[in-house]
Amino acid sequence: MTLVGVVGSVVPVMPGPLLILGASIIAGFLYDWNQVTVTLVVSSVVLVMCFAIEQLSGIWGAQKAGASHWGQIGSIFGLFLGFFGLLPALPIGGPLLGLFFGPFIGAVVGELLYPRQVPMVDRLKISVKAGVGIVLGSVIGLIIQGLLSLFAAIVFATTTWHLGFGIS
């Protein structure tokens, strides 16, 4: 369950850190709660950190790329459209590809719709830069979440190994 949690932390929409915390809670019910206190604390802190990183990484990438609120809102719409396979550019690939391309396409469209007094070529450059920034911020966030979840899984494995629970 903890290994699934680590994988889930880097696969969007899969609740990886929550699975690791769940494994810690199950270990607490199966064994002595005092034996899993460290694991519970670490798993809980990692869950909160991953949630914050997930929320802030796309915004950080958008700000670094100079995206407007239109681009950020467009990326959110693109995320939902991409996940549900509703983007015409993605007839194949399913939700995983849509989770990466959807926010990019949405951010570009949002930035193109943002009212600016800029020539179209420059608007397109600004829009693509914003889309890339949002996607890069999200990917960096996923990598950080994966590392935090790996740390939580290692703590879980080392603190519960002697209980016979280990990594499952």
Closest listed residue to residue 101, CA positions, set 66, 126, 77: 77
Q: Which residue has the tokens 């550019």?
A: 89
pLDDT at 3 exceeding the cut of 80 = no
Q: Are the C-beta atoms of 24 and 36 separated by less than 8 Å?
A: yes
pLDDT at 161 exceeding the cut of 50 = yes
Q: What is the mean pLDDT of residues 14-43?
A: 84
pLDDT at 12 exceeding the cut of 60 = no
Please calculate the CA angle 18-63-125 and round it to the nearest 5 degrees.
120
Range of weakest confidence among 26-30, 95-99, 104-108 = 95-99
Read off the pLDDT band of 49 (50, 70, 90).
Answer: very high
Q: Express as a percent the part of the chain with pLDDT over 90.
A: 8
CB-facing half-sphere around the CA of 53: CA atoms within 13 A:
23
Does the pTM surpass 0.85? The reply is no
Closest listed residue to residue 9, CA positions, set 34, 46, 38: 46
Structure tokens at 70: 């239109």
What digits encode the pLDDT tens for the residues 102-160? Answer: 888 888 999 898 887 888 888 889 889 988 998 888 889 889 988 998 898 888 888 87
User: How many whole angstroms separate alpha carbon 147 and alpha carbon 35?
Assistant: 24
Structure tokens at 92: 């194949």
User: How many whole angstroms separate alpha carbon 141 and alpha carbon 58?
Assistant: 8
In this prediction, residue 26 carries a pLDDT of 87
Q: Are the C-beta atoms of 153 and 8 separated by less than 8 Å?
A: no
Amino acid at 92: I
**To the nearest whole number, what is the mean pLDDT of the chain?**
80
Read off the pLDDT band of 45 (50, 70, 90).
Answer: very high
In this prediction, residue 166 carries a pLDDT of 47
